[in-house]
C-alpha cells in the first residue's frame, strides 16, 4: 500500500517532538518511556508522553496524550503520527501503538494515516493505520464525517 507523502520538514518536526516527549515520560512502574507526536490538518505538531499511575490501569499512553493535545489546540484530524519508544534495539521489536491507541487514532485519521516508528537513535518502519487496524470501526459508522473530511 502506498503511504501518502510526508514532507521531510514535517517528518523531522514529528521526530524531534516525539523524542523530546519520550524524555519527559512519567513511567516509574514500567520504566518504558514513550513519546508520540501528531501532525494535524494545519501542519502543526502536538506531542505527548506516557503518564503512569500507581493505580496501573489509570495510566495514559503517549499517543492518547498527543491526540488530546491536538484536540485542545483545535486540531480536527491527524495527517501523521510518530511514536518513539525503546524498541528497535537488540532485537526488541519497534514500539508500535497499543490496540487502544490504534482505535483512538482512528477517530482522527483515515485508513491511510501514516504511523511512523522510531527510537532516540534511529527511525523504524512506517505503517498505515489500516495495516495496524484493519476493517476498523470509526466515526463514519455512526454517520459522522470521516476525519479527513472534517472542517
Ligand atoms: N505505552 C504507550 O505510551 N504507548 C503505546 O502504544 C504502548 C505502551 C506505554 C503505556 C505504559 O506506560 C508503558 O508504555 C508500558 O506499557
Name the domain count of the chain.
Answer: 1
Q: Which residue range is the domain that position 114 belongs to?
A: 8-136
117 within domain boundaries: yes
104 within domain boundaries: yes
111 within domain boundaries: yes
Task: pLDDT band for 5, please (50, 70, 90 cuts).
Answer: confident
Residue nearest to atom 10 of ligand 1 (CA): 61
Ligand 1 atom showing the smallest separation from residue 27 Cα: 12
Name all residues whose Cβ lies below 6 A of ligand 1: 27, 30, 32, 34, 50, 52, 59, 61-63, 97-98, 101
143 within domain boundaries: no
Task: pLDDT band for 3, please (50, 70, 90 cuts).
Answer: low
**Quick check: 77 and 67 in contact, CB under 8 A?**
no
145 within domain boundaries: no
Q: Which residues contact 56 (CB under 8 A, 6 or more apart)?
A: 29
* 63 is an active site residue: yes
120 within domain boundaries: yes
Task: pLDDT band for 2, please (50, 70, 90 cuts).
Answer: very low
pLDDT(90) > 80: no
Tell me the CATH number at 101: 3.40.140.10
Amino acid at each position: 500500500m502506498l503511504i501518502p507523502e510526508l514532507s521531510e520538514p514535517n517528518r523531522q518536526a514529528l521526530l524531534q517532538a516525539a523524542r523530546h516527549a519520550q524524555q519527559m515520560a512519567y513511567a516509574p512502574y514500567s520504566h518504558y518511556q514513550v513519546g508520540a507526536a501528531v501532525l494535524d490538518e494545519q501542519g502543526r505538531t502536538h506531542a505527548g508522553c506516557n503518564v503512569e499511575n500507581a493505580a496501573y490501569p489509570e495510566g495514559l499512553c503517549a499517543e492518547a496524550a498527543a491526540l488530546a493535545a491536538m484536540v485542545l489546540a483545535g486540531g480536527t484530524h491527524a495527517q501523521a503520527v510518530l511514536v518513539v519508544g525503546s524498541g528497535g534495539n537488540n532485537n526488541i521489536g519497534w514500539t508500535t501503538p497499543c490496540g487502544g491507541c490504534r482505535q483512538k487514532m482512528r477517530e482522527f485519521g483515515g485508513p491511510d494515516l501514516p504511523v511512523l516508528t522510531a527510537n532516540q537513535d534511529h527511525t523504524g518502519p512506517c505503517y498505515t493505520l489500516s495495516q495496524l487496524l484493519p476493517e476498523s470501526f470509526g466515526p463514519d459508522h455512526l454517520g459522522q464525517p470521516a476525519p479527513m473530511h472534517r472542517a
